[in-house]
Each structure stands twice: as C-alpha cells, then as structure tokens.
Structure 1
C-alpha cells in the first residue's frame, strides 16, 4: 500500500476517535483498536466513506499481556506496517490504592504504561529501517501536578509517560533517526467519555468552562508537535499556564492546591 498507516489505541471514542478523523483527513490509512468492536467498525465505515482510506479494526484489551503481539500480528497478516503510533488508550481508576485490588491496579499499569511502551519498542525497529516514524503518547497535565488522593497511579503513570517520550525522542535524534519523532501530548480537561466512565462527570461539570477543551484542537496540537519533532506539548493557553505554575510554585503550595481541588475530579470511593 502506498498510503501510510497510523495505529491508534483507544480509538472507539473521544481523543482516540478524533485522532482517527484527523489522520484520515490527511489521507492516512488507519488501524483502530479498542475493546468495543461495534464502535470501531462504525468509525471505520464513516472514515472510509468520507476520505477513501482503508481502516482496519482490531478488538483487543490492552490489559491482556498478549494484546500488543495480537495487534501487530493482525497488521502483519494484512501486509501492513505502522508508520505512526498513537498511544491513547486509558481510563481513570477510582478509589484509593488500598481499597482497590492489585488486579485492578496491575491492569491499569498495563493499559496506560506497559502496553504503550511495548508498542513503541516493537514498532520502532521498522520505523528505523524505513527512515520514518511518528509516535504520540497521550499523557496528561496531571503528569506535571502534585500527587493527589484517589486515582493513585494516574499522575505518576502520566509523569512517567512524559519522561519516557522525551528520552525516546532524544534517542532517535542522537542515533541519526532525524525523521522519527516522539511527542507526549499533555491535555488538561477535555470533553470526552473519560469522566463519565470514572464517575466524576457530575463534579467536573461544575468546573469553569475555561478549563475545558474540545478534542479537535487537542489532537491537532499533538499532530503538529510530532511533525515538528517537539517532545512535549501542552495544548491550550490555560493548560500552558497551569503547567508553568506547577514548575514555579513551591512544592508545599502545589500539594495544598491539588489537595483542595482533587475531590472535584478524583473519586476515592469505588
């Protein structure tokens, strides 16, 4: 196939679906993966009809250790390789660290960190061989903020994703892979199903409208940044200001502010 292919995880809704729409509008073929087959197929049909591209759907649960190999095997069976990878799949795990099971926490780490890192590790050799690649890891503004009660691992995993992406982008440049770029996309509050799934929609709806962004400009910021070779991007002026504040505020004040506000977007019950 002459067209490049973008693999998007968590593609059935929200930011993932918007990545699919924007890459399809650029004329890219797509590999869409998530757990919800019906939504993936509906999105694939929509984009094939609208843009004349080819969309492959792969229903997989990234919490399963074999999921990454299954996704890549499905593409190989169709004779396709990954030119761009968008690690978007994710969710919030309500509750505290001690009132949730280890199985829940382990699945969370697998979906939000281990699987994205494994996917990057397994598609990079082919990118290097072809001399072209794009990797966007959807992190979060939470990766900059102080830790909070509830959703215990969310911020730490997103912080790790930012650092991993920075290192990966630097390694590609240092080893002469000048057209392989890796970007950590760090959105703040974005309109999607994320807060419905983790049970915080009622509380987050009370937050100021200026704190929210639509998915389309968030995704555009990520695509533009990775094409420039920018290792980290925080979309939106409000989010940029908040990210800057986390760097300049005294740590004790930052922790106090997060503690005071976290109950609005972190559930400690399950």
Structure 2
C-alpha cells in the first residue's frame, strides 16, 4: 500500500487530510508535536480503515528535527510515497513587536522544514517514478500582509517553490500540488490572533471541506487548489490591483 506522511496531523486541515488518505487506502505517518493526540488519531484510523498508522512526534521548529524525522522513517523501514507538508502557523502583530523567537520558529516550520523534508524524500519518489508532494499554503501568498509580514512572506515562498518544483518534475511521474485555503475553522485563528476579526470567522470554511478539496485536487494532479468561491474571487481580484493598494488594504483590515 502507498504510504503518506502528513505533518501537522494532530488537528485542523492536517487531521482531516490524514483521514482522507487513510480512507483512500494509504498507510499514514502522522507527524506533529502532540504525541497523545496523534496516538488517538492513529488508533481511530487503524480501526476504521484497517491501515497502518505510524506516529512520529517531532517539533519541526527545532534545528535538526527534519533529519531526525527522516532517520526515524529509515529505522522503521518506511518508504514515503506521498508527502503532505501541512505544518505551519502565523502570528498577528507588528514585526518589530512580535517575539523574534516566534517569528524565527515560523520560518523554520513554514519554510525550512517544508523545504528540507521535501528535498530528503523527493529523490526516492523520482527514482520510483511515482508519488508526490502536497504543500499547504494560503491565499495570503498572493499579496503582502502588514501586521503578519513574516507569515504572508512564508506562504509566498511556498507558492513559488511549489510552482517551480512542479515544472522541474514534469515527466517524472511525481506530482506536486499546492492547497491554498483562506480562513479555515481550525486552531489557527486563536493561535495567530486572527480569530478576533469578524471577517475571519465569517469567511472561515470547515477544515473538512478544505481538506476534501485539497485531497481531490491532489489526486487529480491539479497545480493550485483554492477551495471556496470567495477565496478564488479574492485571489483573482488581487491580480487586478497594484501591489501598493493590496498591502494598504490588508494593513487596514489587519490593524493592530
């Protein structure tokens, strides 16, 4: 059976994606910091879908964590066919006011871990001529984000990286897709501080619906998957506006 590794699998979109891959018959490797929640999810998936579910608790914000994860896979003779880079977080506030450590950890999780884990697992996929990578980004990638400057920048990286990598892998049999959701009913709103804005709660999609769009789009080998017509409309509209206008607008919406 194919094996899919999902980072940030303990909650939200990652948890829902784990359910979908397991329901589709894949064995799963569940990665996040919270081992107890991963174990509960693993037990549920094993009993419901009769698949193998392996738990690897890792804090991807720590230096060397990605290599530790890959070493743990090798020790268990696990070959990864599909990689879902879902782990990530944000923080609302002015760059000069937010903790330097928190913002550095954000870059480590949202960019460094995603990039290094992809690099370490991708050669095997290319050699086998199958599999792929599903990166979870955000519609935040399409404009600058004052008062969440680092978060928006990390998602712009994920968008550009995914598009470039997809072209590099054309003809190899390895697929690369991007899931770019808007506001979603997960812990992100409370953790980042965005949940205090009425527009965030009003526009938030259920995590299960976002994950289903991402799963289906990935299976269909789509390049960029933007769930929800409001989110697609916003991304389209941003393309018609000058960048100075979009950054001023976002700055006013996310005023702190």
TM-score by length of 2: 0.95
Partner residue in 2 for 1:117: 115
Partner residue in 1 for 2:150: 153
Name structure 1 gaps, 5 residues minimum: none
Give yes or no for contact 1:134–1:227 (8 Å, CA) kept in 2. Answer: no
Partner residue in 2 for 1:99: 97
Partner residue in 1 for 2:63: 65
Name structure 2 gaps, 5 residues minimum: none
Partner residue in 1 for 2:165: 168
Find the aligned partners of 1:80 and 1:252 in 2 and give their Cα distance: 47
> How many residues in Structure 1 have an aligned counterpart in Structure 2?
256
Find the aligned partners of 1:104 and 1:90 in 2 and give their Cα distance: 12
Q: Which aligned pairs between 1:78-227 and structure 2 lie closer than 5 A?
A: 78-148=76-146, 150-173=147-170, 176-177=171-172, 179-201=173-195, 203-204=196-197, 206-207=198-199, 211-227=203-219
Residue 235 of structure 1, CA deviation: 1.0
Partner residue in 1 for 2:45: 47
Find the aligned partners of 2:212 and 2:205 in 1 and give their Cα distance: 12
Large movers: runs of 4+ above 6 Å: none
Structure 1 residues 106-115 or 222-231, which shifts more?
222-231
Partner residue in 2 for 1:248: 240
SS in 2 for 1:248: coil
Structure 1 residues 69-78 or 19-28, which shifts more?
69-78
Give yes or no for contact 1:168–1:182 (8 Å, CA) kept in 2. Answer: yes
Structure 1 residues 211-220 or 76-85, which shifts more?
211-220
Alpha-carbon distance change, 85 to 208 in structure 1, aligned in 2, over 3 angstroms: closer
